[in-house]
Amino acid sequence: MARKLFCEISPFTYKISVQKCIAFRRIKDLRSNAVFAETKENMELPVSVYTHNSLIRRKLGNLNLQLQENKAVNLALAAPLINGILIRPGETFSLWRLVGNCTEKKGYLAGLTISKNGPGQGIGGGMCQMSNLIHWLVLHSPLTITEHHHHDNVDLFPDFNRQVPFGVGTSILYNYLDYRVRNDTADTFQLIIYTDDEYLHGELRCNAEQKVCYHIRAEEEYFTFENGVYYRNNVITRRTVNKATGEQLSKEVIMRNHAKVMYDEEFVDKSKLKVTAG
């Protein structure tokens, strides 16, 4: 039997490990040369780069619907802390530096979390939807992603009105699993983030018109059956296109997914079953 890590011995040792990681992140930031985005502007910058709306209450298997309601509360608390933030040339956007720790004292409720390759719940759960939305906006811009963690190797929920390709999500945990973006351009960008009764709304704006646009696609999508287990596969690509001419300037692979399906077999799209092995 493999020896347990210190964080796996007990809930108490896990809390110690978490606090150690939080402290290390703070020390690392103090020693870094990063200039973090802190300035907000109520007036929106003139150019809309990309917009997206993310449905807050989604059907996710047999999960407790109350977690969806609690997530709505959590997102509504966090959105104003990001809304209007300017990302000026040379600055780095950090989600956790703006939102802070999502604690019960601040009004956050128990929402959906993902840990140990499965669904769970915890105070402030559901914040991944915030980082997912921001990540999707950023992928349609020239901003540089400097920190991005992924829900590795698992497909937790069947599709339900999916608008964003599978495998473009993010994983965050205060404060040492962050989502960070640096502005290496000469332009200033701005995030507009807010909620209503149905959606988490997001928009990336800029002070200048952009000469290119970006198209994110899922390619080579299929399921495999390997040693008695279904896996979901795809390749996420990003194309850079000249807005004036429509010419494709480049194409890059930004993610390759081979994820173990964690939901019931009946929800697997058998029409996309490409390989049977094992």
Note the pLDDT tens digit of each residue in 86-123: 999 999 999 999 999 999 999 999 988 876 666 778 89
Q: What are phi and psi of 168, to 5 degrees?
A: -110, 20
Percent of the chain with pLDDT over 70: 92
Question: Is 3 a domain residue?
Answer: no
User: What's at 145, amino acid-wise?
Assistant: I
CA distances from 57 to 68, 101, 195 (A): 5, 23, 12
Instruction: Give the residue numbers spanning the domain of 267.
Output: 9-277
Q: How far apart are CA 190 and CA 41, in angstroms?
A: 8
Question: Is 4 a domain residue?
Answer: no
pLDDT higher for 145 or 159? Answer: 145
Say yes or no to pLDDT of 59 above 80: no
Question: Is 1 a domain residue?
Answer: no
What's the pLDDT at 205? 98
List Cβ neighbours of 226 (8 Å cut-off, separation of 6 or more): 275, 277, 278
What's the pLDDT at 61? 60
- Asked whether the CA dihedral 127, 80, 179, 51 is positive or negative, the reply is positive
Question: Is 253 a domain residue?
Answer: yes
Name the nearest CA neighbour of 221 among 269, 157, 253.
269
Question: Is 110 a domain residue?
Answer: yes
Which pLDDT tens digit goes with each residue over 7-38? 566 777 778 888 899 898 999 999 999 999 99
Range of weakest confidence among 38-47, 101-110, 129-138, 155-164: 155-164
Say yes or no to pLDDT of 58 above 80: no
User: What's at 8, amino acid-wise?
Assistant: E
Question: Is 20 a domain residue?
Answer: yes
Helices 65-82 and 128-139, packing angle to 10 deg: 50
Average pLDDT value for residue range 49-59: 90
Name the nearest CA neighbour of 103 among 82, 79, 124, 80.
124
Q: How far apart are CA 270 and CA 273, in angstroms?
A: 5
Which pLDDT tens digit goes with each residue over 186-235? 999 999 999 999 999 999 999 999 999 999 999 999 999 998 999 999 99
Average pLDDT value for residue range 163-168: 88
Question: Is 188 a domain residue?
Answer: yes
Q: Percent helix, strand, coil in the chain (nearest 5)? A: 25, 40, 40
Question: How many structural domains is the chain composed of?
Answer: 1
Say yes or no to pLDDT of 150 above 90: no
- The model's pTM: 0.92
Question: Is 21 a domain residue?
Answer: yes
